Amino acid sequence: IQPVQVHFFLHPFSVSGRFELWDTDDPVPRAELLKKVRGVDGLLCVLTEKVDAELLDAAGPGLKVVSTMSVGYDHLSLEELKKRGIRVGYTPDVLTDAVAELTVALLLCTSRRLVEATHEAKTGGWGTWRTLWLCGYELANSTVGILGLGRIGVAIAERLKPFKVKKFIYTDVAPRPELANMINAEYVSMDELAQQSDFLTICCALTPETQGICNKNLFSKMKETSIFINTSRGGVVNQDDLYEALATGQIAGAGLDVTTPEPLPTSHPLFTLKNCVILPHIASASYTTRNAMSVLAANNLLAGLRGEPMEKELKL
Ligand SMILES: O=C(O)[C@H](O)CO
């Protein structure tokens, strides 16, 4: 499949001699999806679709493959998929550059207080030049911590290095020397990561083990001058604890591209904080990347339907 033949935002469709396309940018309503999946052989979805027992039951025993246009797969019930022998495709790698780029942008935006600064400039808060006004934290000579070192963590570090970062540290379930050597990162414990990081960037997948892992315990060990960045999944953060840490000055700032829930209600307390920058889950949102993701997801689906190896298949 060539990029030009694929819509940017493919929502679930089925292939069984024919296919059905949810041809809008809005998520398919659950009731509609449950109706449409009946009897399909394959399903291409995005991360707003919960693929659980209910949906798989609705699809029926003919479903052979689910292809998600995302690197994250916490919206898929892997246990149910495995139980039913359904193959799963996903889209790692093609979004690494876009996500790393956005993470760096969010980090700088948070640490150098860009949202506050443009607000002040626009609303009359810009008086005379003042010595400490809108001061933030710089990357030069800093320690950057990565929670969950994978392709994206490496790509973030590669982009941050030219800003003269002094040291990269990371933690994960086990050391990952092959990736760590690429960025000269040192493996540390979770406590050391919290204590030493001037910038802590969260790159781990959301799993039962990482659910709420960024909580009071972690924030209480971080420096008052540290910046917390999350572009993975909102579920890895305990948002009440993060609010507390930001509001009381336990940490200096946070940049979030992901929250729980999404969208985050505009009345959420995190929106009241000047030191919290919130983006609406746009890390992979470049035309090039979304196009590559949709092509890969479509090709994974077709390969799965043909019983061939997928370009990117999740091992269940
Ligand atoms: O999981 C993913 O793919 C990102 O969160 C969205 O592109």
Per-residue pLDDT of 137-168, as tens digits, reads 999 999 999 999 999 999 999 999 999 999 99
pLDDT confidence band for 25 (50 / 70 / 90): confident
Mean pLDDT of 293-302: 97
Average pLDDT score, the chain: 94
Mean pLDDT of 50-64: 97
Ligand 1 atom at minimal distance to the Cα of residue 68: 3
Which tens digit of pLDDT belongs to each residue from 243-292?
999 999 999 999 999 999 999 999 999 999 999 999 999 999 999 999 99
Instruction: Establish whether residue 47 lines the binding site of ligand 1, counting it when its CB lies within 6 angstroms of any ligand atom.
Output: yes
Q: Tell me, rounded to whole angstroms, the distance of Cα 316 from its chain centroid.
A: 21
pTM score: 0.93
Instruction: Output the pLDDT for position 4.
Output: 29
Contacts of 246 (CB under 8 A, 6+ apart): 253, 254, 270, 273, 275, 276
Contacts of 112 (CB under 8 A, 6+ apart): 136, 137, 138
Atom 4, ligand 1: residue with shortest CA distance: 70
The beta strand positions in 140-222, using DSSP E, are 143-147, 167-171, 185-187, 199-202
Mean pLDDT of 200-214: 97
Q: What is the ipTM of this complex?
A: 0.97
Instruction: Output the pLDDT for position 5.
Output: 30
On the question of pLDDT at 11 being above 50, the answer is no
The reply to whether 281 belongs to the active site is yes
256 alpha carbon – ligand 1 mean position (Å): 14
Mutate to test the pocket of ligand 1, among 8, 44, 45, 47 (most ligand atoms within 8 A of CB): 47
- Residue pair 203/147 in contact (Cβ under 8 Å)? The answer is yes
Which tens digit of pLDDT belongs to each residue from 83-137?
999 999 999 999 999 999 999 999 999 999 999 999 999 999 999 999 999 999 9
Instruction: Establish whether residue 284 lines the binding site of ligand 1, counting it when its CB lies within 6 angstroms of any ligand atom.
Output: yes
Calculate the alpha carbon distances from 126 to 113, 116, 120, 122, 130 in Å.
Answer: 14, 11, 6, 8, 10
Calculate the alpha carbon distances from 268 to 113, 226, 280 in Å.
Answer: 20, 23, 14
- Residue pair 71/91 in contact (Cβ under 8 Å)? The answer is yes
Instruction: Output the pLDDT for position 17.
Output: 66
Instruction: Establish whether residue 95 lines the binding site of ligand 1, counting it when its CB lies within 6 angstroms of any ligand atom.
Output: yes
The backbone torsions φ and ψ at residue 190, rounded to the nearest 5 degrees and listed phi first, read -60, -40
Ligand 1 atom at minimal distance to the Cα of residue 90: 3
